[in-house]
Structure formats: structure tokens, C-alpha cells
Amino acid sequence: MFSFLFIFLSLWSFSSTQNEDDYEDFFNLNFDNEIEIPPTEDTVSCDCQREHTEWDKLFIMLENSQMKENMLLHSLDEILKVELQRLRGEMLQLVENVSSRCITSTGQATSRISSQLDQMLARKNQEAEDRSAMLHESEQGRVLQEILQLSRNVSNRLSHLEHAWRRKEELDIQQRGLPEKDYMTRGDSFVLNSLWQELQETKAELKESHRKKTQNLLPIGCETALLFPMRSKKIFASVHPTTEMMLSSFTACMWVKVTEMLDKTIVFSYGTKRNPYEIQLYLSYDSAVLAVSSDLTKIVAPNVIGSGQWTHFCGIWNSVNGNASLFVNGKLLKASADIAEGHIIPNGGILQIGQEKNGCCVGGGFDESLAFSGKITGFNIWNRVLSEKEISRQSEEESCNIRGNVVGWGVTEILPHGGAQYVFTF
């Protein structure tokens, strides 16, 4: 832009000079028609030093301006490079400072959030433990109150019996005039019989009270349970055993609190694509059924469960002689032989709680009428037959802390699906 402006000004200056020369030539014209005598060789002066023409001057000026322009552009480029380098350094320093501050701030914020979450979780866990302890203490307190009330009732009954006996014996002595020795013998016999009767009635009341209190309580260690809120073909829990499921014998135990029982309500099932009925434990109204290899090879324990009550089940099977047993609340209620004798439970199947595996894959081919609704906890499976003593321990205190070697409650991965979820049992 500067070069073009410079060229334009130079051309304008040159044209102005040329015009002035023309005007001077014009004024020097001879208008008097006088004949000019041409100069002779003597009169011609010799110009030994030739001056630059206007064009030469113009080109010289142009060259000088071009050189100056190049020098200015070069200086400008150098200045721009220096400024850009400085700006780049400042930007890099700024980015480094900002990034370091951001990293520091992010780390501090993350640590604060993590600390707050840890404190919140610790507080919630403490609240849950306190609540559980309070609930257990309240339950124990109510039981103790009932036992105290029963002891008071027994004491009152014994006092009434003793008072009545003394009055009766005094009347007998007065009416019959019996000697004191006979009086004491008859009195002792009457007291012993009365005490025995009262103790039997008290024992029955204590058993009934204990049964009513424990039917809605679980042993220690069973604080969580799987909740199946409704019957649905989409609600179940998938179990991933710790070891292979190729079994020649097994023992399966769990606590069950069912909302409603139909003709076939699945508690748990294990099946393969070839045979979806390898193992099944299900409820049929108030009966419990254990089926192995087929729904035709099964044992049934009738009248063992009611809705809304915690009940402990253990199913046992052995391939050697086909022996199968059903224990309810630690007691053997049904046993049979020749149940799938010689059969081997194959590996590679699907183990599920609350549904029957009768399709090709997880979540497929489920029947809503077979679904379980209620709560299940303490689900354990062993690859052997447990003794009756071990079965009895399963239904007593801390049974949820005794875990199977194939499936262990609280250790083996059990994933709820659909609306199934883990809940606290208190």
C-alpha cells in the first residue's frame, strides 16, 4: 500500500515538472518572425558532466523507497516475532498456572467430597446399627416383660394353691380328726400334683409365647433380605455360585417369608437349557416341595408354612441311593428314597431365586403365576449332605453366619433384577 502511494506521488511530481518545462518552452517561442541563427560549433558549449534525467531520478527514488519499505517490513516482522514469542511464553505460563491451580482445587474438592461421603456413610451405618440394637433391645424387653408376667402369674397361682390346700386340709383335719402324719402325707401328694399341673400349663404358655415372638424374628446375622414386592415375570434374583454346580449331592437352606402361596410358588430353581428342572424348591399353598431332575421325582411336606411368618427350610438329596429329605425349622418332616437315584446335577445351568428357569436365557420364558412374592434371606448351598445336628444349627441363632461352600449368603454374588431389592429385615 505504501509503495503504490509512493509511486503515485512520484508520477504526479514528474508530470508537474514536465509541464513546467513545456510552459517555459512555450514562453520562449519567437513571435516576431525573427530568424534565429543556429549556433555554430564554437558557440555550442560542451556538457561534460551529464545530468540524470527525470526518469533516472524517478527510478532511483523508487529503488530507494522499495529498499526502505523492505527494511520497514523486515523490522516489523522482527518486532512481531518478538512480540508473538513473548505472548506465547506468557500464555504458556498462564495455562500452567491455571492448570496447576485447577488440579490443586480439584484434588482438594475431591478429597473434601470423599471425606464428607465417608462421614455420611459412617453416620448412616452407625444410625442403622443403633436402630437395629434398639429394635433388638425393644424385642428382648418385650419378651422379658412377658416372661416376667408369666412368672408373676405362676407365683400367684402357687400362692392360691398353697392357700387353698391349707384351708382344705385344715377342714379335713377338723372334720375327720386325722393324725398329723397322714395329714402331711396327703398334703405333700396334693401339692406335688398341683405343682406338676401348674408347671405343665406354664411350660405350654411359655412355648406358645416363644413361638409367637420368634415367628416374626430372624437369627443374628440375617439383617438383610431379598424383597420380591409382587408377582412378576421380570422380578427375580440371579445367583452366581462360587464353585461348579456339578453335584452328586447337595443341601440347600434358606429363610422364607412368603406373602401368598399359590399352586406352585418358586423359592429357588436351577436348570440348564436341556433340563430346566434340575433342582426346584417351591411352595404349594401351605406345603413345601423339593424336586430333583424332574417335577415327577419329588417329596412333599404338607402344612408347614403360613403367610407372613419366617420359616426355615432345608432340602437334602443324595444321588447314591436317591435319599431326599425336607427339614422345616430344624425338624425333619419328610424323607424319601429313590428320588433321582444315580442322577448327576450338570454344570453350566442358571441358578435363580424367585423364578423358574424355563427359557433359553436369563429373563426369558418366565411365568408370572410361578413368581415368588415376599422375603428370602440366609440362602446357602453345600455340595454335600449335612447332618441333622448341622441342620438344627441352621435354624438357630447366628444361622446366617454359617455359609455354604457352593453358595454363601453375604459372600456369593446374588444380583436382584426387575423390582427385587435388598432390604433390612427389622
Contacts of 248 (CB under 8 A, 6+ apart): 318, 319, 320, 344, 345
Confidence of residue 407 (pLDDT cuts 50, 70, 90): very high
- Report the pLDDT value the prediction gives residue 25, as an integer from 0 to 100: 47
Which of 38-42, 155-159, 222-226, 348-352 is least confident? 38-42
Q: Please tell me the distance from the alpha carbon of residue 232 to that of residue 419, in angstroms, as a whole number.
A: 9
pLDDT in tens, 168-181: 667 666 666 555 55
Q: Which residue has the higher pLDDT, 141 or 186?
A: 141
Q: Above pLDDT 70, what percent of the chain?
A: 66
In angstroms, how far is the first alpha carbon of the chain from the final one? 90
pLDDT at 264 over 80: yes
H-only helix segments in 177-330 = 180-214
Give the tens place of pLDDT for each residue, 267-298: 999 999 899 999 999 999 999 999 999 989 99
As given in the structure block, the three cell numbers for residue 380 are 446357602
CA 280/CA 356 separation, integer angstroms? 8
Per residue in 195-215, is it b (16+ CB within 10 Å) or e — as a string? eeebeeebeeeeeeeeeeeee
373-377 mean pLDDT: 95
Rounded to 5°, angle at Cα 329 from 323 and 334: 30
Higher pLDDT, 111 or 310: 310
pTM of the model: 0.54
Residue 76 CB neighbours (<10 A) = 10
pLDDT value, residue 49: 52
172/346 Cα distance (integer angstroms): 80
134-161 per-position pLDDT tens digit: 666 666 666 666 776 776 676 677 677 6
Per residue in 194-242, pLDDT (tens digit) is 666 766 776 666 665 655 555 556 766 688 999 999 999 899 999 999 9
The pLDDT, as a whole number, for residue 414 is 96
Answer with the residue of higher pLDDT: 171 or 369.
369
pLDDT surpasses 60 at 64: yes
Which residues have C-beta within 8 Å of that of residue 333, sequence separation ≥ 6? 301, 304, 326, 327
Residue 308: pLDDT over 50: yes
Q: How far apart are CA 252 and CA 269, in angstroms?
A: 11
In single-letter form, the type of residue at position 231 comes to R
Q: What is the C-alpha separation between 16 and 218, in angstroms, rounded?
A: 118
Per-residue confidence (pLDDT) for residue 134, from 0 to 100 = 67
Most confident of 100-114, 220-234, 237-251: 237-251
3-state SS of 53-120? Answer: CHHHHHHHHHHHHHHHHHHHHHHHHHHHHHHHHHHHHHHHHHHHHHHHHHHHHHHHHHHHHHHHHHHH
How would DSSP label each residue in 304-319? ---TTS-EEEEEEEET
